[in-house]
Amino acid sequence: MTRLVSTEYKPETISPPGWTLAEMLEERDLKQRELAVRIGVSPKHISNVVTGDADISPELALALEKALGAPARFWLARDARYQEYRARAKQEEELAQHVEWARKFPLRQMVNYGFITKPTNALQAVQKLLRFFGVASPEDYQNWWTQLQPSFRRCTLREPDQHALAAWLRRGELIAQRTQTRPYNAEKLASCLPEFRALTLEDPNVFQSRIREKCAECGVVVAFVPELPKSYVSGATRWLAPDKALVQLSLYYKRDDMLWFAFFHELCHVLKHPKRLTYMRDLSHQDDEHEVEANRFAADKLIPKEKYSRFARKYLLAGEVVDFAKSIGIAPGIVVGRLQFDGYLPKSHLNKLKKLFDWAARN
């Protein structure tokens, strides 16, 4: 069976519709002045249409239909194609001035992760970025970014690159746009926490889809978006609508303890903190009250406080950690991460119990 491939016809040049008008007049041995008399317009206007300096209005198209026989829709379609061509040519000329703007984005990584398709030249890179961000110009992109910033509550040790962070956040938006959710239900989301905790024992091909499915039923989109260079963000939470939240995870640290801590941390922002804010963090030490609360929430939901306090001590062996993790139904790497964070284990100790993740699966 022959496969039909849809392609978009984009001619390099399109002649003005007036050229077609001039050909018809020549075929009929009509002068421009005579046509002007027949349809009640000035000879200069006909001359301007022929040279492409004047558009073909609906009224003129109807008049040409009567005088020359070609339907009005023919003239209007011909003129519309020409006007679109002129507008595109003008836009490309303007966009060529923004090649340096496009170079500020991590284009290679954006292509590798499927954010955009590979541009063939610098101008196309500008065009693809504009489509990705859903804006008409680099100025409109900046306006979008400026309007987004007041809601940021950022807790990172390093200042992220604006363009990398913007691209990462936009990717989450696009995933959320195509993800259907039920209206937000806080009680239902809270009731799912034990199931999410149990999923720490599963592989990514199991827990990613299950998390997305269950959270969507609660009004929350979960987007796993690969980190971009210098974005310095492990997770983000924001509300896209009063009844739809977005939790975005980057796998910045590529270990199961960090990923699960970030996930539960972001769920705390959804459940407990103001909807008007956008929370972003890289898991660094911070004194922000919302971050402190989210850290405590994640720590205690993953490892019950009382059980942890009875178990935690220095010089623990791998077998002891595995047995404890099994007794509370959680991945041992999460226990190791908590012990390391609290100073009971050196950062280099028992890391073999942690799972390493990569971006084999995409949204």
Nearest to 227 by CA among 257, 249, 211: 249
Q: Is residue 57 within 8 Å of 49, Cβ to Cβ? A: no
Compute the average pLDDT of residues 98-107.
95
Q: For the chain, how big is the Rg over CA atoms in Å?
A: 30
Residue 2 has pLDDT above 60, yes or no: no
Give the contacts of 25 (CB within 8 A, at least 6 positions apart): 31, 32, 35
Q: Is residue 68 within 8 Å of 96, Cβ to Cβ? A: no
Mean pLDDT of the chain: 90
Pairing of strands 220-224, 152-155: unpaired
Question: Which of 103-107, 147-151, 263-267 is predicted least confidently?
Answer: 147-151
pLDDT at 10: 54
pLDDT at 251: 79
Identify the structural domains of the chain with CATH numbers, from first to last: 17-96 (1.10.260.40), 99-144 (no CATH), 149-353 (no CATH)
- At 222, the pLDDT band (50, 70, 90 cuts) reads very high
Higher pLDDT, 51 or 11: 51
Q: What ranges make up the beta strands (E) of the chain?
A: 152-155, 220-224, 235-241, 244-249, 278-281
Dump the DSSP string for 12-60: S----HHHHHHHHHHHTT--HHHHHHHHT--HHHHHHHHHTSS---HHH
Long-range contacts of 146-149 (CB under 8 A, 24+ apart): 148/278
pLDDT at 151: 79
pLDDT at 286: 60
- At 93, the pLDDT band (50, 70, 90 cuts) reads confident
CA distances 89 to 70, 83, 122, Å, are 28, 10, 16
The pTM (predicted TM-score) of the whole model is 0.79
Question: Which of 64-78, 145-159, 340-354 is predicted least confidently?
Answer: 145-159
pLDDT at 91: 79
pLDDT, one tens digit per residue, over 158-213 is 788 999 999 999 999 999 999 999 999 999 999 999 999 999 999 998 999 999 99
| Cα(25)–Cα(15) distance, integer angstroms | 16
Q: Is residue 19 within 8 Å of 50, Cβ to Cβ? A: yes
pLDDT, one tens digit per residue, over 45-92 is 999 999 989 999 999 999 999 999 999 999 999 999 999 988 888 878
Residue 332 has pLDDT above 90, yes or no: yes
Compute the average pLDDT of residues 111-121.
95
pLDDT at 361: 41
Question: Which residue matches tokens 């020409």?
Answer: 82
Please classify residue 114 by burial: count the beta carbons closer than 10 Å to its beta carbon, then call 0-12 exposed, 13-18 middle and 19+ buried.
exposed
Q: Is residue 280 within 8 Å of 153, Cβ to Cβ? A: yes
pLDDT at 156: 63
- At 283, the pLDDT band (50, 70, 90 cuts) reads low
